[in-house]
Each structure stands twice: as C-alpha cells, then as structure tokens.
Amino acid sequence: DGGITQSPKYLFRKEGQNVTLSCEQNLNHDAMYWYRQDPGQGLRLIYYSQIVNDFQKGDIAEGYSVSREKKESFPLTVTSAQKNPTAFYLCASKQAGVWGTQYFGPGTRLLVL
C-alpha cells in the first residue's frame, strides 16, 4: 500500500540526548514536511524539503535538524538544544506543483523522561 510511515509511535528522550524521528513515504512525492503539534494548538512547521539534498527552515526550526538524502526519507533530529521537545510530531508529503495536497503520516509522540 502507498503511504507515509513514521516510527516509532512513542519516543522517550532523556535530558541532553538527541533523538531521531523517522519518516518514509512510497508515494513518489517530491516535497516532505515536518510539523509539531502541541495540545489545543494547530500545527507549526519545523522544516520542509522540496527536493532531495535541499531543505528549508520553517517557523520553529531552532533545536531541530533534518536531512534529505533520499526522495522517500526525511528524518528529523530533535537535539538537546530543543528545551521543550514534548509534543506530537507529524510528517507530511506532497507531489510537486502548487495544486498538490499534503498527506500526513500517523505521527510520533515524543516524551521527555
């Protein structure tokens, strides 16, 4: 089946630790996105990538890093510089072009120990 997978479903981070969230898509989409969702709030854009080996910061990129070495993969690293990482993280992908629609993965919930 075509779709977007995120792993793990739950992730625990210790103080000072970097953790990496996985996002994979087999939809052959060019663009991929990472969003953060906090309780009672909308989604905020962390990073996005419109093509392999290129990515741009979104509204809340501080404390996060990404890579885009393959078209189907867009991992997000939450670094120790992110002081409030507890949130629900959503990955999305979209076909190129202004008429494309973003499709979302099931999300990863990150908790701090």
Partner 1 sequence: GNSVTQMEGPVTLSEEAFLTINCTYTATGYPSLFWYVQYPGEGLQLLLKATKADDKGSNKGFEATYRKETTSFHLEKGSVQVSDSAVYFCALSDQTGANNLFFGTGTRLTVIP
Interface with partner 1 by CB under 8 A: which residues?
4, 6, 31, 33, 40-43, 45, 48, 50, 56, 58, 90, 92, 94, 98-107
Nearer to partner 1, 2 or 16 (CB): 2
With beta carbons less than 8 A apart as the criterion, state whether 32 and 48 touch: yes
- For partner 1, the closer of residues 81 and 111 by Cβ is 111
Tell me whether residue 41 or residue 84 sits nearer to partner 1 (CB atom). Answer: 41
- Minimum CB separation of residue 90 from partner 1 in Å reads 6
Output the smallest distance, CB 59 to partner 1, in A. 9
For residue 105, the minimal CB distance to partner 1 (Å) is: 5
Euclidean distance between CA atoms 80 and 57, whole angstroms: 18
> How many Å separate Cα 89 from the centre of its chain?
6
Q: Please, what is the minimum distance in Å from the beta carbon of residue 85 to partner 1?
A: 19
Residue number with CB closer to partner 1 (77 or 102): 102
Q: Which residues are 94's β-sheet partners?
A: 31
The string of DSSP codes covering 44-109 is EEEEEEEETTEEEE-TT-TTEEE--SBTTB--EEE-TT-S---EEEEEEEE-SSTT---EE---EE
